[in-house]
Structure 1
Amino acid sequence: MQTRKKTAGLALVGIIAVGVAGCGTTQTVSDAPAPLVLVTHDSFNLSEGTLEKFTEETGIEVEVQAAGDAGELVNKLVLTKDSPLGDVVFGIDNTFASRAVNEGVLADYASPDLTDAESQYLLPAGSGLEQLTPIDNGDVCVNVDHEWFAEAGIAEPVTLDDLVKPEYKDLFVTPAANSSSPGLAFLLATVAAYGDDGWQDYWQQLVDNGVKIDAGWSDAYYVDFSGPSSEGDRPLVVSYASSPPFEVQEGDTEAPTGALLDTCFRQTEYAGVIAGTENQALAEKLVDFLFSVDVQNDIPESMYVFPVNALATLPDGWSDYAEIAEDPFVVSPDDIDANRETWLSEWAAIATP
């Protein structure tokens, strides 16, 4: 993380014209404020020119600082809350939100642009409703490389139970639950599926069946997964139900990968103002901007997830390949808050060699 320079107030660019005696020339001095710092997870991405629209509207540039996966992002915010890393955070999700709220790393602000249409994405009152604005959502699911299985002549798995069968040994990769929000979402799916007393045995079976565990989603998907845009040899990976559209090439009539919809956990990502910012008013404007239609329309093709703003539109063909689980696994925020550290400790004891 880089140390940032904080602005001295909310003044926009000021230009001071100074006449130089005897020469008839003019000298200008710029008093431009430093950029707003947007702290994000490593997977944050918007199309070129999108954040520049905020600068056009406000005169303030945005500097993006990546801080690892969502779990690492929250950890860094907690460790640095007495000397904030930035002004706004994006990428805290419903699996880590309660920790961020309880540790006091967020200022009290949620975008006033939210409507009843987005209420389904809000956290329960008292768990961060007043501090987090939903930005995107998606189902975290096991993704499958259709082409790999077709060439191998092996039937694709369908359920979580299938993943521990011998025919899928050494074929599955997942990001770690203690450093990755999709990894934690998958852990929570197994908790919901097998119960507080049964998920540990399931994970031991996964480990015995050769599951590979990477630090983050990017390594799991782009390095170890065997899909067309990846470089690996494992045809099963924890990703999103909205990942397959981005494997479709021009002229394709089917996606080469798919999501196993019986393995999904629904995830929502949020933005918030970081407590201690000296740019509260401008930081609030940036949160509003992330919820705006300009950004929301860009999210599907930039970050492979669904926008939450009811006025946003999906790209052509998105609905043909991006599926939504009808009955995703659910764990309540209260249960996550009460048990997350215990579950992660138990998970690490099983998953760490």
Structure 2
Amino acid sequence: MRVLRTATALAVTASFVLVAGCSGDEPADPSPEPSGTEGSATASAAGDGDAVTVVTHDSFAVPDDVLAAFEEESGLEVTFVQPGDAGTLVNQLILTKDAPLGDVVFGVDNTFASRAIDEGVFAEYESAAPAAADAAEYAVADSQALTAIDYSDVCLNYDIGWFEETGAEVPATLGHLADPQYNGVLSVTNPATSSPGLAFLLATVAEFGEDGWEDYWRTLVDNDVRVTSSWSDTYFVDFSAPNYGGDYPVVLSYASSPPSEVVDGEPTTAAMLDTCFRQVEYAGLLEGAENPEGGQAVIDWMLSDDFQASVPENMYVYPVSSQVEVPAEWAEFAPLADAPHTMDPEVISANREAWIESWTEIVLD
């Protein structure tokens, strides 16, 4: 699916080939050398001595030393192609499936997974890396086309200081935000252009059901909800938190965002954990890849201890590996939701376009 992901990703330029696209999804900093995976494609690719191309979203970030160690061990030269955010990424994968942009993809999330699988974008691959058993917990049902790499909770975040200064009660649930007292406080992202925006839309469908979610959004419109095209606009521009100074004290982001906003040891923001949708990001081998062995090696590397350990502080999401410890401050400032909203990828696939169309008519027309 982070929070300073977008900002930090700009620093990860070595060996990257950037392709024009829109940004705006999800968070991004450091960590060390790869453990490798015995008997995996990492070892088998070492003899190829050729290039492998990873297609990913524009918020991907990995430390230079972790990447360099993988290239040295595998004998592969890794190039990254970044067409845009998660939604743009899937669109490009489908449009180019007969002439794929690379060998392997990272960043397809559970809101788009079934669409890409149904379009025949991926070749099946089952990793033998140690963390593969943990990744299986998040597998797409009846498919080996995608391997889970990380997960996170898309949640509303709020500016602690704003609520303290105004004396307003912090809205704990989605339903609370329909109250007129919260007029003009909320900024979210468009589900048609933003992966977090789509996750939030799905959270409202899961919370209020087919008979209630549209009316809920009508109340948000009456409450002057603001909609942007990207996560970065909502978070970096609109958020009233001290680091940004915008006009909206409640914004759409991640449960893992608040550690980035700690000032002098004190939190300035917090996540509303009853508003969350669980987002999972996957890697997948592209059908028709020029270097499928190299693509398999990349997937194994992404499940290695070193890559997994780098995930929290670089992409502000949780690694799937149970062997990797997340930063200590996350326990205090970035707890996961106890009961996040979830939805079967097949249900998402069957209804996504209709839900987005209805949302657009209600909110933007």
TM band (smaller chain): 0.7 to 0.9
Matched, 1:187 2:201: yes
Q: Where do residues 1-353 of structure 1 align in structure 2 (5 Å cutoff)?
A: 2=19, 12-13=48-49, 33=50, 35-113=51-129, 114-125=131-142, 129-249=143-263, 251-252=264-265, 254-353=266-365
Distance 2:48 2:342 in 1: 45
Q: Which has the larger radius of gyration?
A: 1
Structure 1 pair 148–58 and aligned structure 2 pair: CA distance change class (3 A): same
1:111, CA displacement in angstroms? 1.8
Are the aligned partners of 1:110 and 1:272 in contact in 2 as well (CA < 8 Å)? Answer: no
User: Deviation per CA, 1:171-215, whole angstroms, max 9, x where unpaired?
Assistant: 111121112221111111100111112111111211221111122
Are the aligned partners of 1:10 and 1:279 in contact in 2 as well (CA < 8 Å)? Answer: no
Higher relative contact order (CA 8 A, sep 6+): 2
Query: Which runs of structure 1 show a deviation greater than 6 angstroms over 4 or more consecutive aligned residues?
Result: none
In structure 2, what residue type is equivalent to 1:64?
Answer: F
User: Deviation per CA, 1:71-97, whole angstroms, max 9, x where unpaired?
Assistant: 111111111112211221111111110
Distance 1:234 1:49 in 2: 38
Distance 1:220 1:226 in 2: 10
Distance 1:116 1:282 in 2: 21
Are the aligned partners of 2:136 and 2:147 in contact in 1 as well (CA < 8 Å)? Answer: no
- Aligned residue for 1:67, secondary structure, equals strand
Are the aligned partners of 1:52 and 1:61 in contact in 2 as well (CA < 8 Å)? Answer: no
1:2, CA displacement in angstroms? 4.7
Worse overlay, 65-74 or 100-109: 65-74
1:168, CA displacement in angstroms? 1.7
In structure 2, what residue type is equivalent to 1:307?
Answer: P
Are the aligned partners of 1:246 and 1:304 in contact in 2 as well (CA < 8 Å)? Answer: no
Q: Counterpart in 2 of 1:24?
A: none
Are the aligned partners of 2:135 and 2:147 in contact in 1 as well (CA < 8 Å)? Answer: no
1:340, CA displacement in angstroms? 1.3
Are the aligned partners of 2:136 and 2:148 in contact in 1 as well (CA < 8 Å)? Answer: no
Q: Counterpart in 2 of 1:21?
A: none
In structure 1, what residue type is equivalent to 2:164?
Answer: A
1:318, CA displacement in angstroms? 1.8
Are the aligned partners of 1:43 and 1:218 in contact in 2 as well (CA < 8 Å)? Answer: no
In structure 2, what residue type is equivalent to 1:316?
Answer: A
Q: How many matched pairs?
A: 323
- Sequence identity percentage: 48
In structure 2, what residue type is equivalent to 1:58?
Answer: S
Distance 2:335 2:214 in 1: 29
| Unaligned 5+ runs, structure 2 | 1-17, 21-44
In structure 2, what residue type is equivalent to 1:123?
Answer: V
Distance 2:295 2:245 in 1: 39
Distance 2:178 2:275 in 1: 13
User: Deviation per CA, 1:270-292, whole angstroms, max 9, x where unpaired?
Assistant: 01112221010001101111111
Structure 1 pair 304–229 and aligned structure 2 pair: CA distance change class (3 A): farther
1:325, CA displacement in angstroms? 1.1
Are the aligned partners of 1:172 and 1:237 in contact in 2 as well (CA < 8 Å)? Answer: yes
1:64, CA displacement in angstroms? 2.0
- Aligned residue for 1:228, secondary structure, equals coil
Are the aligned partners of 2:93 and 2:101 in contact in 1 as well (CA < 8 Å)? Answer: yes
